[in-house]
Amino acid sequence: MIKLKQILVATDFSDCSEHALRYACEFAEAFGAELHLVYVNEPPAAAYSEFGVGFVGVEGIEDDIKRGATAKLDALPGRKWQDKLTVSRAVLFGTPFIEIVRYARENDIDLIVLGTHGRGAIAHMLMGSTAEKVVRKASCPVMTVRPEAHEFVHP
């Protein structure tokens, strides 16, 4: 029998991520698993010095981003799930797929749930998608959820 004890859902606070979050919550409730909500901020390349040592420009920008993202994460997964699930939250900085895979490995995650985002063929060809890269690199199963996927139906 499959046992899921730790489920990670990565969010960028988009509608697609909210859809994936609903799936993750359903699985976490069904399996009695802990839900890990993760947001990864990828600073634009212009925010780094030419040596990639850190931010240049506005002091404390990383702290501001972390405060804002933490406030948004604290509101998730919403009232329906607050009393039903054990939830851990993390705000990370770096390349999203790398940080998601690293967090999953370090926290013994059994399932990663991600929303997919439609992009143009050229952008996808040049950059790939975070979800696709996580699927390739993760050491645990990854479930991708399309925004138009069917909803869970409760009798």
Q: Tens digits of per-residue pLDDT, 11-67?
A: 999 888 898 999 999 999 999 999 999 999 987 654 555 545 555 555 578 888 899
Q: Give 114's strand partners.
A: 144
Residue ranges of domains in the chain: 6-145
Phi, psi for residue 43 in degrees, rounded to 5: -60, 145
Q: Look up the pTM and report it.
A: 0.83
Residue among 151, 25, 7, 39 nearest 83 (CA): 25
CATH 3.30.360.10 fits 6-145, yes or no: no
Q: Tens digits of per-residue pLDDT, 114-155?
A: 988 754 455 455 445 888 999 999 999 999 988 765 665 555
* Distance of alpha carbon 118 from the chain centroid: 16
